[in-house]
Amino acid sequence: MPFSRLKQLLGGALFLLSLGVYGATLEPTASFWDCGEFTASAYKLLVPHPPGAPLYLLIARLASLLSFGDVTRVAVLVNLVSAVASAATVALLFGIITHLAEKLVPPAPEAGLPQGAAAGLVLGSGVVGALAFAFSDSFWFNAVEAEVYALSTLGTALVVWLMLQWEKRATTPGADRWLILIAYVIGLGIGVHLLNLLAIPVLCLVWYFRCSGQPTGRGVLLALLGGSGLVLVVLEGIIPGLPTLAGASEVFFVNTFGLPYNTGLVLFLVGFGGLLLLGFRFAYRTGRAGLHTTLLALVFVLMGYSCYLIVPIRSSFNPTINENAPNEVLSFVSYLRREQYGNRPLLYGPHLFAQPTAQEEGAPRYTRQQGRYVITDHRPELRYPSADNVLLPRLYGGPAGTTPELVRQYRKWVTDLQEGRKPTMSQNLSFLFTYQLGHMFWRYFGWNFIGRESDVQHAGVLWPWDATQAVPASVAENRGRNALLALPFLLGVGGLIWQLRRSRRQALVVGLLFVLTGLAIVFYLNQPPQEPRERDYTFAGATLAFCIWIGLGVPALHAALSRLLSAARLRVALATALGLAVPALMAAEGWDDHNRTGRFSSVDYAKNVLNTLAPNAILITEGDNDTFPLWYAQEVEGVRPDVRVLVAGYLNTDWYVEQLRQRSYQSAPLPLSLSPARYRQGTNDYLPLVENPAVRELNVREFVQLVEQNSPLLQVSYAGGSKTLLSYPTNRLVLPIDTATVRRSGMVPTERLGQVVPRMEWEVKGGVLEKKDLALLDVLTSNNWQRPLYFANTTSPASRLGLEPYLQLEGLACRVLPCRAPAVRQPEVRLPEEGVVAQDLLYDSLMRKYSYRNLNNPRVYYDENQRFTLAAYRQQFARLARAYVEAGNPARARQVLRKCLAVLPDTALPYDAYTPDLVPSLVAVGETRRAREIMDTLTTRTTRHLAYYAARPDAALFEREIALQLFTLQHLYLAATDTNDTARAHQLAGVLQQYGG
C-alpha cells in the first residue's frame, strides 16, 4: 500500500478512535460554567458574553437541528461539536507529526533503516503523539463539553497543518493559494477564539526557513518580529480597529450632516471597499504579486471575520439573552473590546498600592437620541503619579481595586509585601515566575504529562515518587488523581532532544509554537491570584506542541535501541510499542475523571431551582453557575418560561436593566420605578453613605422616588465641587406594608400569617450602594408583592442588602416575604441559617418535585465543583427533618431522612459538610445506629483529610479545603453535643482545638 494512502487511513482511524472515546465520555447535558450559556445561545442564536464566538454558535446551531424537535438532545449534540472538533484536531496533529518526522527519518542505508521500516517509524511517531494529545488531561476536558476551546484548538492545528502543506509546494505554481486559505481560516478562527492568532509568528518562521537559502539569526529575528506585527495588525487593527473607524464615521456623518442612522457606516464600508479595489488595481498594473497576495489575504481574513455580523444582527431583535446589547456599531465595538471586564496592565502601569490622583474623562459613550448620537458619559480613566507606575506590573489592583483580600492572596506568593509600599521589580518577577508561570502554567503542564494529585482546586503535580506515598483514602480514591509516572514528559523530552540533534530549525518552530500558546499567554493574561476555577483549558495549544515532541520520542527510542538491537524492523516495532504504552497509560488514568456519562446534575439542579418557585416568580441569581444552567433550562428545554431570572451582577449595567423592561416569554416586563436616564451608565453607578444624624431611617419607596427626581436632598459634591452624585443618609431602611392586602393575597403560608409585619426594617451592609443594589431596591418596591420574589440559595445580594430576616426557605431558593419569625437564640458556634423553613413547601420540593438523576450512582463522576454545589441538597433535607422533629412530627422527619440517604448515598456522593446536620434528627427518630455510623465515618475521613492538607508545605493554597474540613468538624461537634454524645464531642473538640477551629 502506498505510504500516502496508509497515512490517510491511519489519520482516519485516529479520528474515529478519538471520536469514539469522546462520544463514550461525553457529558449528556449542559455542564456548569459557560456551557449552559453557550448551548442556549447556540440553540436560538442569542448573544452571549463578549466577545461572543459567533462561528462556534453557528456551527453548534446546525448541530442542534439534528435533535429534530427533541430538546433534551440539544445539549448532547452541541457537546458533540467539541468532540468532533477534538477528534479532527487529533487527526491533523497526526499529519503534522508525520510531516516533521518524514524529514528527520530518511530511509537511507546509512540510517540503518529499509524504506518500510522508516515508514513504520514515521507513522508510529504520528500515532503516539496524536493519541497522547487525545488523552491529555486538558484537551480531553475540553472535548466533552460545550465550550469554544476544542474548536479553537482545531483552528490552531489546521493553520499549522496548512502551512506545512504550503511548505511542500512552495515552489510549485499556485502555492500561494495555501497562504490565502490560511488567512481565511485565521479569519474564521476570530469567530471562535483568538488562540490561532498566536500561530502567525510560527507560520512566518516556516515561511522564512522555506524561502531563505541561507537563514541567519537576524533573519529569524525579523521573521518573528514581522509575525508579531501581523498578530497586532489583526488583534488591534482589524478586530476592533475597523469597527472603531466605522463607528467614528457613523458619528461624524450623522451628527455633522444630520444624515440617518447607519449612513456613516455604509459610507465607511464603501470607502474601505474602494481602497481595496484601488490596491488590487495598483498591484495588477505594477505586477506586484506580493502585494496582490497580501491584499487577497486581508480580504479572506475579513471574509472569515464577517461571521461576527451575526452579533449586531441578532442583538437588534432584542433576544432574551442579549449581553451588552451590541445592536449598533458603537456598542458592537465595546462588545468586541470586552470593555465590561476592564483592563489589566501588561508592560507598564500602576502597582498594587498605587493611589490615583485624579479621574479623567476618557472615551465618550454615545446613545441614540432624536436622530443624533449624544454623549451621555465618558469612560473613567484614573491617573496615577509617575512614581506609582512600574515596569512589568505583576502585582496590581484588580477590577474592584486593591482590597485586603487581594493583598492577602498576593502575600501567599510574594514575601515581604508591605502595605502601601511599592513592590520591587524582584517581587513582580517573583510573582511572575512562582504563580503565573509556575502555578498557572507549569503545574497544568505537569497535570498533562507528569501526573495530577486530585481534582481539588490548586491540586499539585503528582510526581512518580509521590504516587507511592501514603495519603488519606479520600485523596487516594479521588478520580482526578492520575499517576502518569512522568512517562509522557520523559518521552517528550527525548523527542525534543532528538529533534534538536536532527534539525534545530524544526525544533525552533515547534518550540516557538509551545512558547506562544503557553508562556506568552501567561504573560499576556497577567492573572491575579484570585481565580474561581482552574484555567488549564487555556493552554491546549502548548499541550499540542509538546505532544509533537512526544510523537518524535518514538524515533528517539528507536535511536536508543539501535545499540541493543540490530534488526531494524524489530527496533521500529519495539520503539512504537513502548511509545504506545504512554498514551495507553494516559487513557487508563484519565478515563474515570473525564467520563461524564450519566451526569445530569447541573441541569437537574437548575430545573429543581426553577420548580421551587411560585408561578410568575422573579429569581435573583449572582454567579455563572447560579445563572447559566437556568438559562439553558428555560431557553432550550422550555422549563418555567414564566420565571424571570434576574442576574444581580448585570444590574450594574444600563443595557441589562433596560432588558428587564421587555417581555420574556411568559414573563411580563418588570414595572421599574426609576427611568432609563437614572440607570444610564455613568449615572448612579454608586451611591455613597453620607450619614445625616437627622435621618434615623430611610423609607425605601420614598428613597427611590428621590433618586428618580435627582433630589438635592441626596446630592453631594466632589471633584472640588464641580460635580455631584447622589448618596443615601443612613443604613437603616424601612418599607411600609399593606398587611391586609398581603394576608388576602395567599402568598403567606397559613402558619405564618401571624408573623406579617406592618413594615419591614433592615440594615444594608457597607458604606456604598452600587447600581445593582439600587436596582434591587427598585424591584422590591415597584413589584409591590405582585410577583413572588426569590433569591437563589447561593447568592449574596440578600445578605448584602440585609434582607435575611425576611427570607423563607422553600427549596433551593428563598422567598422574600413581609414576615418576621421570632428570633431564635443559637449557639455562638453555629452559623446562622438563611430563611424560615416553610415545611410543606420545602417537603413538596424535596420529596415530590425534585429530580435526583444518578446522584445515587457510584459509577458517575462528580468533580469538586459538582460536589460543592450538590451539598445544598443535604443541607435542605437536614433543615426540613429538623423542622419536623421540632414540630413533633417524627414520621415525616423519618421519611425525609430516608429519602435523603437513598438519593444521596455516601457511595456516590461522599458525605459533605452538611451531612452531620442529619445526625440529631436521625437520633430523634430512632435511627441512632445510622447516625453513629455517619459520625464515625465522617470523623475519620475528615480528620485524616484535614491532617493531610494542614501538614503540606503549600497548605496556604488549600485554605478553602482546610476551612471546609474544619466546618465539617464543627458540625460534627454540634451533632455530638445535640445528641448528648459526650465521648465523640470530646474527641472532636480536641481535633478542633488542635487545628484552631
The single-letter code of the amino acid at 521 is: I
Residue ranges of the alpha helices (H) in 412-518? 425-431, 443-449, 473-476, 487-502, 504-516
Q: What is the pLDDT of residues 551-596, one digit of tens each?
A: 999 999 999 998 888 788 899 999 999 999 999 999 999 999 999 9
Q: How far apart are CA 440 and CA 432, in angstroms?
A: 10
Question: Domains of the chain: which residue ranges?
Answer: 3-313+481-594, 844-997
Q: Average pLDDT for residues 155-176, to the nearest whole number?
A: 92
| Cell representation of residue 407 | 493583598
pLDDT value of residue 911: 96
> pLDDT at residue 406 above 80?
yes
Angle of helix 487-502 relative to helix 540-561, nearest 10 degrees?
A: 70
Angular region, 419: left φ>0, alpha ψ -120 to 50, beta rest: beta
Q: What is the pLDDT of residues 809-868, one digit of tens each?
A: 999 999 999 998 876 555 444 556 778 999 999 999 999 999 999 999 999 999 999 999
User: Computed over its alpha carbons, how large is the radius of gyration of the chain?
Assistant: 31
pLDDT above 90: percentage of residues in the chain: 79
> pLDDT at residue 898 above 90?
yes
pLDDT-derived band of residue 550, with 50, 70 and 90 as boundaries?
A: very high
- Dihedral (CA of 901, 842, 874, 929) sign: negative
> pLDDT at residue 607 above 50?
yes
Question: Cα 730 to the chain's mean position, in Å?
Answer: 38
Q: For residue 771, what are the contacts with CB-CB under 8 A and spacing of at least 6? A: 651, 652, 653, 679, 684, 685, 686
> pLDDT at residue 874 above 50?
yes
> pLDDT at residue 111 above 80?
no
Mean pLDDT, rounded, of the chain: 92
- Residue 641, helix vs strand vs coil: coil
Q: What is the pLDDT of residues 292-337, one digit of tens each?
A: 999 999 999 999 999 999 999 999 999 999 999 999 999 999 899 8
Q: How far apart are CA 93 and CA 753, in angstroms?
A: 68
pLDDT value of residue 828: 44
CA distances to 577, 596, 857, 899, 938 from 861, rounded to whole Å, are 31, 6, 9, 21, 20
pLDDT value of residue 829: 45
Q: Of 7-21, 118-132, 398-412, 649-663, which gets the smallest average pLDDT?
A: 398-412
pLDDT value of residue 513: 95
Q: How far apart are CA 322 and CA 45, in angstroms?
A: 10
E strand map for 578-669: 618-621, 644-647
Q: For residue 651, what are the contacts with CB-CB under 8 A and spacing of at least 6? A: 657, 771, 772, 775, 776
pLDDT value of residue 397: 87
pLDDT above 70: percentage of residues in the chain: 97
pLDDT value of residue 343: 80
Q: Average pLDDT for residues 404-431, to the nearest whole number?
A: 91
Q: What is the pLDDT of residues 758-788, one digit of tens each?
A: 999 999 988 899 999 999 999 999 999 999 9
Q: Average pLDDT for residues 442-458, to the nearest whole number?
A: 96
Q: How far apart are CA 670 and CA 648, in angstroms?
A: 15
Q: Average pLDDT for residues 508-537, to the nearest whole number?
A: 92
- Of 166-180, 389-403, 600-614, highest mean pLDDT: 600-614
pLDDT value of residue 826: 52
Q: How far apart are CA 651 and CA 340, in angstroms?
A: 12
Buried b (16+ CB within 10 A) or exposed e, 505-531: ebbbbbbbbbbbbbbbbbbeebbbbee
| Cell representation of residue 644 | 424571570
Judging by DSSP bridges, how do beta strands 644-647 and 618-621 pair with one another?
A: parallel
- Cβ neighbours of 134 (radius 10 Å): 28
